[in-house]
Structure 1
Amino acid sequence: MRISTLLTSSIPFGHNFFNRRALASSSLAFRFRTMADSSEDSLRKALSEKQSEVESQGNQVRALKEAGAAKTELDAAVKALNALKLEKTSIEKNLQAIISGPDGGSVNKEAFRQAVVNTLERRLFYIPSFKIYGGVAGLYDYGPPGCAVKSNVLGFWRQHFVLEENMLEVDCPCVTPEIVLKASGHVEKFTDLMVKDEKSGTCYRADHLLKDFCKEKLEKDLRITSEMAMELKEVLSNLDVLSAEELGECIKRYGITAPDTRNPLSNPYPFNLMFQTSIGPSGVSTGFMRPETAQGIFVNFRDLYYYNGNKLPFAAAQIGQAFRNEISPRQGLLRVREFTLAEIEHFVDPEDKSHPKFSDVAHLEFLMFPRDEQKPGHSARIISIGEAVASKIVDNETLGYFIGRVYLFLTHLGIDKNRLRFRQHLANEMAHYAQDCWDAEIETSYGWIECVGIADRSAYDLKAHSEKSKVDLEAQEKYSEPREVEKLVISPVKKVIGLAFKVDQKKVLEALEAMKEEEALKMKTDLESKGEVEFYVCTLGKNVSINSSMVTISKEKKKEHQRVFTPSVIEPSFGIGRIIYCLYEHSYYMRPSRDGNEQFNVFRFPPLVAPIKCTVFPLVQKPEYEEVSKVISKSLTASGISHKIDITGTSIGKRYARTDELGVPFAITVDSTLSLRDLRTWADVWSAFPHHSSGSVDE
């Protein structure tokens, strides 16, 4: 068969071959692997044993105190206890410093990360933008192989979601009028808490400073007490939900200062992350660079619904650039100021969130971390998505279906399923209008990184734009016969609420209108009996007093010929740059040269995402072989297969090493015969495709 035919048929979208040298890599030593007695399993065992020793010695100290032992004996016991605590802390530090490597071993996080980043930048997967001018934090350029990987990831995203799910794709402008982002809440709420060096004026993100302080204390301070360690771990677990006042209190309590100057810091205050601009030469019309792509889909709902034949459910998708003026960008591609998002808005009847294809994913099992299990000492566990939906861990079938599809997408790309988990948002992480939210998190040397968010946003977005634009963004269900229906009507008295809550009135109104029926009916009963109730407003983070003059809640009966409703939205949102960086880490390893004197960098990309699918080179430098190589190259180009031709004449080992650094999965070598080489899974390829008995795949 033709080589181009074999290559084309072996790399369809969705087909996930193992990496070119994956079979060999499991036996190769990592340069950065920790000593055998410091492996993750050994450390965890040692930590458990040391914890038992600490508890035993602690019991002995308490017994000596109760028995009134001599001071010298008690002091010796306390000294022994403190020494054991220091040993335990040291083991915890070593455990935190390692990460599971691609071959199942343990590698040092910092050294591994530096090796990956050095290889990526040297081979131009990505580089700092405007480097000759010193660069700009949070901005990166993708080089040739990086562009190819990104293009392949986005191509597969379109195949896996847009085409296979029959979605409607749109492409909206990056510049967005202010009124749109006011309606969505971004102008008011899209903020991070910032602190300022009171002398130099340098700005820092408050939660990052607190996080860095806590982690450094836990990892490097051997004198830290167990009580202090517990306190810092508690702070880390609640970092995302701390208010400005709580963050400021922590910064003062721990004496945190500006990292560069050690100067005192201001109190935390909100900073809007959007880049502001003006539309038109007059500067009168304010706009922003969009912080997400979703709003373009929401404002086009009416036309998309009509295009879809006025039928639900349907999904719209968009890939595009988004912009966030990060206070302190860091972690390479993981936190940047301009990035690519791929977002889906699946519009569905709020009274029927079943999915006709849910059975296709119900059997999938993977790591899930429900909110009720996110406690110290707990970790994610394997659950089938069918079980998760049936037991209401996941709110509904449509949300569960997309969680399953996201899992398939990421694992087909090459993300290690053992380092992928779906974590449910805690109650205090979710907006008041959200039904349920999950994050696909991928483990890297930076820890667990949120790469995809899958949320049931109820009808909030469409209602917000409908109210602001005065345009109905609704769907209809026509009845064959008129129906008498009873409807709950929540009617806030805006004037009274405005006088009572002033700047907070909008948040109070939103919370009242978003009440579920059970909550609203309870409020109605309480108002009738007491005249006033305490009502929790999520966006304010506190209770407010609502009296009977502020809201009317009633049920009305009426005949309807059709049901008019605002659809709910299930939103999977993909950070493409983050996914790509995680893929780089999950695909990277090092292999020794045959003589063992050198270490070569290897990216074991699946053919699906590999920037270059194959290399072509003659085994010996002869003009006739070079000509054949050029003919093969021309054939591959005509077939749309990316490749690299190498007729440099250097040793075959060095040529393989060069292509390994780019993650090339196949090689076509030319001598007296032509051979397609795939060192990873040659037995699989050989059994799957027709071939000649000679052992070569001939042109």
Structure 2
Amino acid sequence: MAEATTKKGQPLDRGVLESVLRRRLFYTPSFEIYGGERGLFDYGPPGCALQANVVDLWRKHFVLEEDMLEVDCTMLTPEAVLKTSGHVDKFADWMCKDPKSGEIFRADHLVEQVLEARLKADKDARGMTIEVDEAKEAKKKRKIKDTKIEKLDDAVVQEYEETLAKIDNYGGDELGDLIKRFNIKGPSTGAELDPPKAFNLMFQTQIGPSADRPNGYLRPETAQGQFLNFQKLLEFNQQSMPFASASIGKSFRNEISPRSGLLRVREFLMAEIEHFVDPEGGKKHPRFEDVKETKLTLLNRKVQLSGSTKTEVVSIGDAVSTGLVDNETLGYFLVRIQEFLLKLGVDPTKLRFRQHMANEMAHYAADCWDAELFTTYGWIECVGCADRSAYDLTVHMNKTGAPLVVRQTRAEPLVIEEYQVDLDRKKLGPKFRKDAKAVENAVEALSQELREKLSLDLEKSGKIELQTPGVGTGTTELGSDLVKIEKRKRTDYVREYTPNVIEPSFGIGRILYSLMEHVFWTRAGDEARGVLSFPPMVAPTKVLLVPLSSHPDFKPFVKKLTSRLRRVGVPNKVDDSSASIGKRYARNDELGTPFGITIDFQTIKDDSLTLRERDSTKQVRASEDDIIAAVKSLVDGEETWEQVSKRLPAFEGQEVD
């Protein structure tokens, strides 16, 4: 696995970054003074501001630009809803238990961790010289040259790498086989692990005081509320298709073994889109032509199943035309996801789209790709983009009878020739009594092929036999006195269909943490000074106001600047402490503040100010009006620092430790 690096190409020390993030209160473990609770975190002021800015950009990039319909649905979900959707029976991960210590592990993660650790040890061992203490009693050490730690056989290395490439494709039995084959034991005890078992990830809850058992769940995703409101949203959209709904809110998953900070938690913010599309016509998208030349880094399922993780850079137009990506709408959203992540400041060299393999993809999905970001924890799934076909609307419609369909008047009436069945219900009831309805349903469910065959049987013998499970022997005979089957023409003026759904699903917490790794670096020669190079649009605070000293003449300027910046919507902070200007800027570089304005004695004379850029530490000087206009332009993304620094006079000086 490649080594994670900082924005400037330095080896990334996760401990240093996490120390900065916790010390500066981006986030902190929940309930820490009570010992904490794994998988739960609180966001501090800069973390809240960063998250709010990311969500705001998400809304602008998707909801506004794509004209989506935003909804906010309840987090409490009745059991019947999630039973119908399949979550009660299938929303599970595989866990295994150490019988000696009682520790529980997520099986795929344990296999992954152990194999990666062995590969790393093997890599470190190859060609490594070591020191051996041959005379412990004398405490004398002698360096033995060209001595190597025992390393893995090349075939074993290849097997480990191939297993890791396919790790997301394994089910419970396969994971159990891997644990045995690779001799994976309890990490703390060395004990044999119990076979993997499925563990449902949803939190049960009781809705209402009279329930005698849990009758609901905290939602594991925001999607189901959008599906259940489909008919109302379609009506709100004046029956126009295609359209998309969007939702941002908390979801809950009872993770088996929370780890990796913000990457695997039990409560998290999701942003999900459900794009409803007509299944006829290849699921085309009207804006696909605008993006078809955009290139994406793709890791397809065939490559993974071969035991490799080699990616290829492909234009989305080619990926769709060759069938690598299933359809235009799915491809369009992959591009839009990439554009969004790059706007946030994600490193494009640490972004790839990985296609789901057969075992990890939902049975109803036509295709699914994850946007993954590379971090010190490896490749992390941050966005999923799936073609969910018509599954969700269909199962909820079948369960409730609600018309979750689109009805459109045809431009040209459609003449359909088909076999139609007529039942004499006056005779059917007395003959079959309580089973009459079941027989009627069996007749109505007959396919056109069966109706054609049975019409020939009826014509030949005067009777037909139906498969009717649960009625008598399971087979029912109907004579020509009860049933007629004829081929007739009908004119269809209205088309009725169940839309398919393309679903981009964003894990906001995972995106935030990955982004913080991607933008973190330290200044050369001063590794204690961490810098978070957030783009101005998402930075928690946009501008630091730094009066040169505590001189009373500076206070009116600081007050006026603060007010003017707030009026134009630019969040700012004042640091008038006694520390040097350099130290004050360094403290706020750790918070990711992109710009600083210095108020000095020259400001008192002519209202001019210096504007400092975080990453380069370069400064320009201009009038108050020009500086505020420049900051507003930079924060809104209308100008870059390079453009501003070319049109405003450069300034040297001021920043000292």
**Alignment-mate amino acid for residue 257 of structure 2:** S
Counterpart for residue 576 of structure 1 = 508
1:313 maps to 2:218: no
**Alignment-mate amino acid for residue 64 of structure 2:** L
Q: 1:151 aligns with which of 52, 67, 73?
A: 52
| Alpha-carbon distance in 1 for matches of 2:37, 2:239 | 47
1:240 maps to 2:168: yes
**Alignment-mate amino acid for residue 676 of structure 1:** L
Structure 1 256/357 Cα, relative in aligned 2: closer, same or farther at 3 Å?
Answer: same
- SS for the counterpart of 1:356 is coil
| Alpha-carbon distance in 2 for matches of 1:577, 1:605 | 16
1:258 maps to 2:190: no
| Alpha-carbon distance in 2 for matches of 1:214, 1:680 | 39
1:647 maps to 2:647: no
Q: 1:435 aligns with which of 366, 369, 381?
A: 366
Structure 1 642/114 Cα, relative in aligned 2: closer, same or farther at 3 Å?
Answer: same
**Alignment-mate amino acid for residue 298 of structure 2:** M
Counterpart for residue 593 of structure 2 = 664
**Alignment-mate amino acid for residue 117 of structure 2:** E
**Alignment-mate amino acid for residue 570 of structure 1:** I
Structure 1 401/119 Cα, relative in aligned 2: closer, same or farther at 3 Å?
Answer: same
- SS for the counterpart of 1:366 is strand
* Residue 478 (structure 1) shift: 1.2
Counterpart for residue 82 of structure 1 = none
* Residue 365 (structure 1) shift: 1.7
8 Å Cα contact 1:293-1:341 kept in structure 2? yes
Question: Where do 1:186-265 residues align within 5 Å?
Answer: 186-221=87-122, 222-265=150-193
8 Å Cα contact 1:476-1:562 kept in structure 2? yes
Counterpart for residue 402 of structure 1 = 333
1:382 maps to 2:310: no
1:270 maps to 2:198: yes
* Residue 119 (structure 1) shift: 0.8
Q: In the TM superposition, what whole-angstrom CA distance separates every residue of 1:418-470 from its partner, at most 9, and x where no partner exists? A: 11111222233322321111111111111111111111111011001111112
* Residue 242 (structure 1) shift: 2.1
Question: Where do 1:157-556 residues align within 5 Å?
Answer: 157-221=58-122, 222-284=150-212, 286-352=215-281, 353-374=283-304, 375-377=306-308, 379-485=310-416
8 Å Cα contact 1:98-1:106 kept in structure 2? no
Q: In the TM superposition, what whole-angstrom CA distance separates every residue of 1:85-122 from its partner, at most 9, and x where no partner exists? A: xxxxxxxxxxx46234322x351x5xx21111111111
Structure 1 283/679 Cα, relative in aligned 2: closer, same or farther at 3 Å?
Answer: closer
| Alpha-carbon distance in 2 for matches of 1:377, 1:100 | 23
Q: In the TM superposition, what whole-angstrom CA distance separates every residue of 1:64-97 from its partner, at most 9, and x where no partner exists? A: xxxxxxxxxxxxxxxxxxxxxxxxxxxxxxxx46
Counterpart for residue 589 of structure 1 = 521
Structure 1 690/193 Cα, relative in aligned 2: closer, same or farther at 3 Å?
Answer: closer
* Residue 659 (structure 1) shift: 0.7
| Alpha-carbon distance in 1 for matches of 2:267, 2:53 | 20
| Alpha-carbon distance in 1 for matches of 2:50, 2:560 | 26
* Residue 263 (structure 1) shift: 3.2
1:560 maps to 2:461: no
| Alpha-carbon distance in 1 for matches of 2:14, 2:527 | 19
| Alpha-carbon distance in 1 for matches of 2:172, 2:191 | 20
8 Å Cα contact 2:21-2:27 kept in structure 1? yes
| Alpha-carbon distance in 1 for matches of 2:417, 2:158 | 52
- SS for the counterpart of 2:174 is helix
Structure 1 315/487 Cα, relative in aligned 2: closer, same or farther at 3 Å?
Answer: farther
RMSD: 2.8
Q: In the TM superposition, what whole-angstrom CA distance separates every residue of 1:158-200 from its partner, at most 9, and x where no partner exists? A: 0110111110000011110000001110000001111222244
- SS for the counterpart of 2:269 is strand
| Alpha-carbon distance in 1 for matches of 2:347, 2:185 | 39
Structure 1 467/384 Cα, relative in aligned 2: closer, same or farther at 3 Å?
Answer: same
Q: In the TM superposition, what whole-angstrom CA distance separates every residue of 1:673-699 from its partner, at most 9, and x where no partner exists? A: 312222557795474599776979xxx
Q: In the TM superposition, what whole-angstrom CA distance separates every residue of 1:555-577 from its partner, at most 9, and x where no partner exists? A: 99753111111000000000000
Moved more, 253-262 or 140-149: 253-262
| Alpha-carbon distance in 2 for matches of 1:588, 1:122 | 15
Identity of aligned residues (%): 50
Moved more, 374-383 or 421-430: 374-383
**Alignment-mate amino acid for residue 498 of structure 2:** T
Q: In the TM superposition, what whole-angstrom CA distance separates every residue of 1:31-54 from its partner, at most 9, and x where no partner exists? A: xxxxxxxxxxxxxxxxxxxxxxxx
Structure 1 695/450 Cα, relative in aligned 2: closer, same or farther at 3 Å?
Answer: same
1:630 maps to 2:535: no
Higher relative helix content: 1
**Alignment-mate amino acid for residue 276 of structure 1:** Q
Larger relative contact order (Cα-Cα within 8 Å, sequence gap ≥ 6) = 1
* Residue 626 (structure 1) shift: 3.0
Q: Which has the larger radius of gyration?
A: 2
**Alignment-mate amino acid for residue 365 of structure 2:** A
TM-score by length of 2: 0.77
The gaps in structure 1 that reach 5 residues or longer are: 1-95, 490-512, 526-547, 550-554
| Alpha-carbon distance in 2 for matches of 1:597, 1:691 | 31
8 Å Cα contact 1:366-1:417 kept in structure 2? no
* Residue 366 (structure 1) shift: 2.7
* Residue 275 (structure 1) shift: 0.3
The gaps in structure 2 that reach 5 residues or longer are: 123-149, 421-444, 454-473, 476-486, 604-608, 621-639, 653-657
Structure 1 381/556 Cα, relative in aligned 2: closer, same or farther at 3 Å?
Answer: farther
- SS for the counterpart of 2:215 is strand
8 Å Cα contact 2:79-2:215 kept in structure 1? yes
- SS for the counterpart of 1:428 is coil
**How many residues are paired up?**
537
Counterpart for residue 675 of structure 1 = 610
| Alpha-carbon distance in 1 for matches of 2:531, 2:162 | 39
- SS for the counterpart of 1:570 is strand
Counterpart for residue 496 of structure 1 = none
Q: In the TM superposition, what whole-angstrom CA distance separates every residue of 1:9-64 from its partner, at most 9, and x where no partner exists? A: xxxxxxxxxxxxxxxxxxxxxxxxxxxxxxxxxxxxxxxxxxxxxxxxxxxxxxxx
8 Å Cα contact 1:626-1:647 kept in structure 2? no
Counterpart for residue 633 of structure 2 = none
* Residue 345 (structure 1) shift: 0.1
| Alpha-carbon distance in 2 for matches of 1:689, 1:601 | 24
* Residue 640 (structure 1) shift: 2.5
* Residue 655 (structure 1) shift: 0.7
| Alpha-carbon distance in 1 for matches of 2:368, 2:60 | 25
TM-score by length of 1: 0.72
Structure 1 653/690 Cα, relative in aligned 2: closer, same or farther at 3 Å?
Answer: closer
**Alignment-mate amino acid for residue 585 of structure 1:** E
Q: In the TM superposition, what whole-angstrom CA distance separates every residue of 1:598-646 from its partner, at most 9, and x where no partner exists? A: 6300001000110000100112331111331122112222332211101
**Alignment-mate amino acid for residue 244 of structure 1:** G
